[in-house]
Chains A and B, each alone.
Chain A
């Protein structure tokens, strides 16, 4: 048994809890005849490892860190000629969903230029292969919302609204956290930003000082680094409103917590994830890695993760691996024709449910800002940590 395994190429995949789930790993092993060794970490630890130890992984399933890991020379360019389905990727295909989003859009640091930098200008070499994308917004407990803000439309401002005092949690990831805090302060009218996707030093200082004061008076009940922590905060921790990711919403619902993923009037925080190749990968492992990259665009893994609320990079390919009722619920914004299961087989959608925020097109066209690694990333990380330690 061990001997048979040893002849199969082994891929070490670094990524976050939400994406590197066991059903994906098993499916890849079975479809590709390789051994997949997942290295799961929270988003900050994963990028830290990608930067400081590029020889410890073969593939990094990252989100919004290309800029950083390219500068640290942790990744190598990907030959797009070897990626079937490259032109079908929904983020830039002809019929893509358009929005007025600002921040680090999917193509910002995508293509390798002659001078060795990354830019949006197409070339044959790319920094990553997009796999998934989606939108995030605060999640709330339905009953609490009705009691606290009544029928007001959903808004980012609630995250820092006194009416939710003591019942709010935030993501501790600085890149996510600062944008969500900025969206909250912008929509409440407290602050105006020149470019919410690229905050400057003074803007970061203003946000940090408000957050620190809020923290000291007990506005926040907790902070989380990965989905399970967020779920615990809502199921047992007394948190009624928090930044939350889609898989957590559907897992909480399975446990009877009636969480709603809000559809803020200001628009969503958009995100996309993609695969990068370690700069150290060569030879047979590199070939296997290209196989893995192509597999991700085949539709099958996209279909699996669509069942936790993510959108596949090649939706039409994913569609062929989804039942019609699944497609209708997750992508078309229609009521579920029957109970639907998550990637682990648990019922996460009840018959008749309609997805919060509507269809794929409706949600993706309301991206206000993309997740971004801003110019002042170093400064904001330091100020954010002061906030978390305050």
Chain B
């Protein structure tokens, strides 16, 4: 039920996170809200027996959040205690005929919060935000990550934070110093080169595999989008769209999850260019457009090997451009970072 990797989300600058980051709903809140509306709508009729185990099974969560949700409903006098393990729908003091029903047969629309990702494992809900914040600081120095402040910042447990940090460590973005503190940055040109070297090996192979599934309409749409603007400069969102059209939508249109994961682990380079566009100056559009266009055209001509070759050349050229941009980031100092990151000295 829980997906094994973080869901893709349109990335956004770290400093906007506070504004538009949607506070994830907790399990007990989801259970409570769903049951409350089912009781109010009459879907759960007065007298219906709600056992903790059955509700937990229905939502696919553990018992403690269900227990908490049922206690809240009891406090709201919407249900009352039947015995140690169960409740009856309806206010206390009423005598109702018990209705024992298979909860799975009620249409509670549980899939909706699941679809929104609200029922994702706790670590998944904050993973991307934390990763983005750590990436944001990494070009600008060495930062120590405070687990305690990170817990407070996201209002989650130490266990969840450790899970998140271990996964970020697995991506090679943080490491432990000899005092066992988690450390982020500083990002080196060599690290960046390594990411590009991996992309150069993996992405052309993925594109060849993906080419069979990419329809001409799908590719034409992307090529048209490329040519729809002739502006000399690309802002951060424009760059993001352009990169997604090729490096996500086309290259990652494959079924091999391991290959997708391996490629995504090397997406640091996009992040550097976004930082550059946001903090220094817009990205020059022409080389990126010309290189992407060539890949699309080769795909339209049904020559996947040529497309892969064009993609490889693009990655090599992008590596050189990105390396120069990382150098320019060296002039920035005192950048704003998340509160759980402390500059290390």
Contact status A51-B188, CB under 8 Å: no
A-B contacts, 10 listed (Cβ < 8 Å): A44-B331, A67-B327, A71-B324, A117-B320, A201-B189, A375-B323, A376-B190, A381-B330, A382-B186, A383-B186
Answer whether A385 and B333 are a contact pair too, CB < 8 Å, given A376-B189, A378-B187.
Answer: yes
A68 within 8 A of B: yes
Give the number of residue pairs across the A-B interface with Cβ within 8 Å.
74
Contact status B190-A377, CB under 8 Å: no
Task: A129 to B27: give the CA distance in the assembly, Å.
Answer: 66
Contact status A382-B185, CB under 8 Å: yes
Closest-by-CB residue of B relative to A205 is B188
Among candidates A68, A73, A200, residue contacting B331 with C-beta atoms closer than 8 Å: A68
Contact status A68-B328, CB under 8 Å: yes
Closest-by-CB residue of B relative to A385 is B141
How many chain A residues touch B (Cβ–Cβ < 8 Å)?
Answer: 30
B193 to chain A, nearest CB (A): 9
Contact status B142-A386, CB under 8 Å: yes
A293 within 8 A of B: no
A92 within 8 A of B: no
Q: Which of B139, B142, B281 has the most CB of A within 10 A?
A: B281
Q: Mark B100-139, 1 if CB is under 8 A from A, else 0.
A: 0000000000000000000000000000000000000001
Contact status B141-A382, CB under 8 Å: yes
Among candidates A71, A74, A378, residue contacting B139 with C-beta atoms closer than 8 Å: A378
Contact status A386-B345, CB under 8 Å: yes
Contact status A51-B328, CB under 8 Å: yes
A173 to chain B, nearest CB (A): 12
A389 within 8 A of B: yes
Question: Within 8 Å CB of A378, what residues of B?
Answer: 139, 186-189, 326-327, 329-330
Task: A376 to B330: give the CA distance in the assembly, Å.
Answer: 9
A379 within 8 A of B: yes
Contact status B345-A201, CB under 8 Å: no
Task: A51 to B281: give the CA distance in the assembly, Å.
Answer: 9
A390 within 8 A of B: yes
Question: Within 8 Å CB of B141, what residues of A?
Answer: 382, 385-386
A268 within 8 A of B: no
Among candidates B139, B287, B327, residue contacting A68 with C-beta atoms closer than 8 Å: B327
Contact status A71-B327, CB under 8 Å: yes
Q: Which of A378, A385, A390 has the most CB of B within 10 A?
A: A378
Task: A44 to B331: give the CA distance in the assembly, Å.
Answer: 7
Question: Within 8 Å CB of B320, what residues of A?
Answer: 117
Closest-by-CB residue of A relative to B331 is A48
B329 to chain A, nearest CB (A): 6
A239 within 8 A of B: no
Contact status B280-A51, CB under 8 Å: yes
B278 to chain A, nearest CB (A): 12
Contact status B327-A375, CB under 8 Å: yes
Task: A380 to B139: give the CA distance in the assembly, Å.
Answer: 11
A373 within 8 A of B: yes
Answer whether A52 and B331 are a contact pair too, CB < 8 Å, given A73-B284, A379-B187.
Answer: yes
